[in-house]
């Protein structure tokens, strides 16, 4: 990058230094995007209780990419600048009446994929996503458009979602999802879910569904979130060295989780169950 590149927020600079050890070219690409998209590091964000406008995301399904979510005042314009193709007119029209959102980015070297997250309760998104009404009562909370695949993911907040609801949603994959969730929280999931704020997301075709909840509700404070996630990763042979380094300052953190965001278990057609989670850099 040019020597004139502006310094970012110290927490973002630290995250970039650590990311460079994972993918040096990807970290430079990430820096360029943060330079261009995040217009105010001090403006409170609702990505996490920390209020920071940058979240790093991790998934056992893809250990090679750098993934992050950012807040931007010019959300659709920022997406347009990153996406390889124009936002479809139908998506653009519904984006214009959304109530907010974020920009998801995945980089590998100089390659960039973008995802537009939009807060919405407009059920016109179901037809646009080719998604049937879910088999449990739930409020639509968010829609996400993936620029690479052109697929739309819909996020729902159910009025009540128990183990029975998970079976109704996930069908044959429910057992694997509940087993992995149980391994994460350290106890079997049988009569009820370990968190009352569980939600789910759906991608219609090919089918992919995620059961998610707030990491803090599932595991406790940031230190306990870190311990639980690293323990789960070790038990499954997964490696998240960037996450471990990034969250090292949180290993003795007390109080509620301020930096960890969501934790999810995903079942996709023809693939083993996977986890995904996020954290804003301390």
Residues in the chain: 282
Which residues are CB-contacts of 59 (< 8 A; sequence separation ≥ 6)?
67, 266, 274, 275, 276, 277
Measured from the Cβ of residue 124, the count of other Cβ atoms closer than 10 Å reads: 14
| Strand spans (E) along the chain | 54-59, 66-70, 101-108, 111-119, 138-146, 152-158, 199-203, 208-214, 260-268, 274-279
pLDDT at 196 over 90: no
pLDDT per residue over 38-61, tens digit each?
Answer: 989 998 999 999 999 999 999 999
d(CA 75, CA 103): 7
Q: pLDDT band at residue 63, thresholds of 50, 70 and 90?
A: confident
Return the pLDDT at 5. Answer: 58
Name beta bridge partners: 200: 156, 211
pLDDT at 1 over 50: no
The predicted model gives 172-182 an average pLDDT of 96
Residue 133 in tokens: 């009404």
Which residues are CB-contacts of 177 (< 8 A; sequence separation ≥ 6)?
166, 170, 211, 265, 267, 273
């Amino acid at each position: 990058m040019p020597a004139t590149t502006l310094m970012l927020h110290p927490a973002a600079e630290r995250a970039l230094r650590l990311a460079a050890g994972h993918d040096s070219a990807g970290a430079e690409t990430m820096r360029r995007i943060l330079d261009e998209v995040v217009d105010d590091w001090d403006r409170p964000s609702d990505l996490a209780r920390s209020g920071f406008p940058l979240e790093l995301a991790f998934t056992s399904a893809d250990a090679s990419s750098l993934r992050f979510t950012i807040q931007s005042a010019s959300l659709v314009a920022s997406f347009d600048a990153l996406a390889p193709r124009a936002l479809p007119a139908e998506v653009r029209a519904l984006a214009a009446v959304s109530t907010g959102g974020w920009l998801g980015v995945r980089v590998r070297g100089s390659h960039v994929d973008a995802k537009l997250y939009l807060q919405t309760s407009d059920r016109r998104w179901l037809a646009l996503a080719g998604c049937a009404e879910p088999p449990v009562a739930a409020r639509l909370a968010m829609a996400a458009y993936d620029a690479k695949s052109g697929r739309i993911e819909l996020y729902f907040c159910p009025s009540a979602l128990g183990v029975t609801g998970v079976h109704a949603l996930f069908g044959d994959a429910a057992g694997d999802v509940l087993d992995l969730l149980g391994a994460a929280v350290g106890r079997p999931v049988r009569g009820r879910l370990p968190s009352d704020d569980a939600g789910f997301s759906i991608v219609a075709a090919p089918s992919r569904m995620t059961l998610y909840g707030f990491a803090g509700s599932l595991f406790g404070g940031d230190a306990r979130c870190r311990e639980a996630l690293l323990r789960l990763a070790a038990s499954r042979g997964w490696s998240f060295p960037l996450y471990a380094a990034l969250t090292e300052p949180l290993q003795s953190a007390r109080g509620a989780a301020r930096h960890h965001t969501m934790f999810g278990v995903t079942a996709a057609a023809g693939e083993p169950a996977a986890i995904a989670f996020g954290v804003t850099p301390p």
